[in-house]
Structure 1
């Protein structure tokens, strides 16, 4: 068959025919951050089109490795790629905005009651603060009965975009963290000897739920679904804010056209209402797709999600992309060669 590049308009017209003619199964893998919404979208998409999208929550690093090796149809990552996009002949685009939230298991502490700053988070994960009734924590939480209990830090065991977001933020607010640990999908945790490592957002949620006086970090949907006690955080404007769609959207009020490959990190934004740990999550697909029908199905799925998935995203506490950003993504899709 002669190779040809489909424009987006032509591709979408073929998608409509493909849905009627026969169902196609495609596979994606990667970040656990967006797993709740990808699973929900996939269920509704299959019901409407007959095409099945299987998504494996294996962590951002795993998703990147699998799409580079072309063992999946699309990869998913919360840490945006930059120079690596060209090297690995990939296209990257965002799907939704969400937030990473610190969660705690402290007796008597309800969701949103405990206040923390980025500096305090850094000191806890560096091992400089080891008890909840430390004077620095009590100073901004004078009305809370904080226990004389040793803090157990919980972190990701796998290569994780959620960890990248968390450590990138800590590097922004703490020189010690930046110099001693840094920001990456996988880091050497200073409290690893006394802490606990969980696989995926799911694993961290389970550990924090079981271990008294623990603290971890998960995507907001996991915190809500598991009724976990998330914290207030002091943002770059000096305000204590709660995680919410409103505070995530405030952090995402940026110009996506200024970056190549949509490579934006949304942590520590200056807006007065911004959640400090806001983040976009990204999809990676090859520029050259060898199986035309599978490639069409992947693009059709995300186009369908952009057109019909916003309400589902909001119900799971994600923020849909603005329409102008969706159009920028659709323009980017025109660079994909469907053979």
Structure 2
């Protein structure tokens, strides 16, 4: 399995925040969902500043634990923290980009985007109620597909994961059985754990699905594309079968962010006609009163720069930049830091 490594990101401190006269080192940890774009943004900053961030992709639960314990300057999580928990831990929270979680499969003869599943069928596969690819319910949706008479191997996250939260939150919305028996969380007791496989991070799940024939897993879309994984069509809340795409992620994110206290907003199963049902925002957690004011300012400088100049790179990696109006809401939230 691919080991998680510390990724050094160089940051540019500019714009509305005070300039940092000397190089500053900032540490962060958490979600693997946004790792590709954070790395790309870092490459763009490298030629412009001596500031750097050491970011560890350790999963959302790890990022939350570390920011609460004060061992990092920011935490990254795909599952938003509730307002009362933000208050309790003296944190602010804000989104950075929008993306999507996608189910991926390794079934011979099936190409990317060909197989159709409903949310209910996806839940039944992970509940262990549907165990073979040629199950009649799957065949009815895919009459022209050559589906093997082979057992389905489910792949899931071994670490506390915001990607798992998004996936299980969606399954809880579309399957009463899943909601009752499993629920939604960063870490759940997987019903198919005895016959399935667990991977650490999006990287680990991608590796397992790529190696294990007749398997199914779930990863962030950029990982699926970078690793040329076979993703599926999924039926959305409007009843339409849709493919993961920037356009369909954006359709799911067309909501009123002003009603989400502390930006606590989950974008799964939105009603728009072309909404991808597993769309998600990814979030940053920052202390209101950090141990070092200069490092706190550098963190905000970094994300402010990204808001202004990082959109193109985000789109190249199949993320959706935040709307300008949402960015302004976030900048207002930043005023609570070091005040």
Same fold (TM over 0.5): yes
2:173 corresponds in structure 1 to: 172
Deviations for 1:105-138, whole angstroms, at most 9, x for unmatched residues? 0001110000000000000000000000000000
Q: How big is each residue's C-alpha offset from its partner over 1:170-195, in whole Å with a ceiling of 9 and x where there is no partner?
A: 00000000000000000000000000
Task: Kindly provide the CA deviation profile for residues 173-225 of structure 1, in whole angstroms up to 9, marking residues without a partner as x.
Answer: 00000000000000000000000000000000000000000000000000000
Once residues 55 and 160 of structure 1 are traced to their aligned partners in structure 2, the CA distance between those partners, rounded to angstroms, is 16
Q: Please list, as runs of the form range in 1=range in 2, the aligned pairs for 1:3-42 lying within 5 A after superposition.
A: 12-15=16-19, 18=20, 21-42=21-42
Moved over 3 A (4+): 10-13
Whether 1:275 and 2:276 are equivalent positions in the alignment is yes
Give the superposition deviation at 1:11: 8.8
| Shift of residue 46, structure 1, vs aligned partner | 2.9
3-state secondary structure, aligned to 2:70: coil
How far did 1:292 drift? 1.4
Residue equivalent to 2:208? 207
SS in 1 for 2:48: helix
SS of residue matched to 1:48? coil
Equivalent-residue separation in structure 2 for 1:316 and 1:211 (angstroms): 26
1:304-333 deviation digits (Å, cap 9, x = unpaired): 000000000000000000000000000000
Greater alpha carbon shift after TM alignment, 246-255 vs 37-46: 37-46
Secondary structure (helix, strand or coil) at the match of 2:98 reads: strand
Deviation at 1:40, TM superposition (A): 1.1
Shift of 1:47: 2.2
**Paired position in structure 1 for 2:228:** 227
1:11, 1:296 within 8 Å by CA — same for their partners in 2?
Answer: no
Give the TM-score normalised by the residue count of structure 1.
0.94
How many residues are aligned here?
325
Structure showing the higher helix proportion among its residues? 1
The answer on 1:287 being equivalent to 2:280 is: no
For structure 1, the 5+ residue unaligned runs are 1-9
Tell me, in whole angstroms, the C-alpha distance in 2 between the residues paired with 1:58 and 1:14: 30
Coordinate RMSD, CA, aligned: 1.1
**Alignment TM-score, normalising by the size of structure 2:** 0.94
Q: Matched residues in 1 for 2:331 and 2:230: separation?
A: 38
Is the CA contact 1:39–1:55 (under 8 Å) kept in the aligned structure 2?
Answer: no
The gaps in structure 2 that reach 5 residues or longer are 1-13
Q: Given that residues 17 and 301 in structure 2 are in contact (C-alpha distance below 8 angstroms), is that contact kept between their aligned partners in structure 1?
A: no
Question: Quick check: 2:17–2:297 contact (8 Å CA) kept in 1?
Answer: no
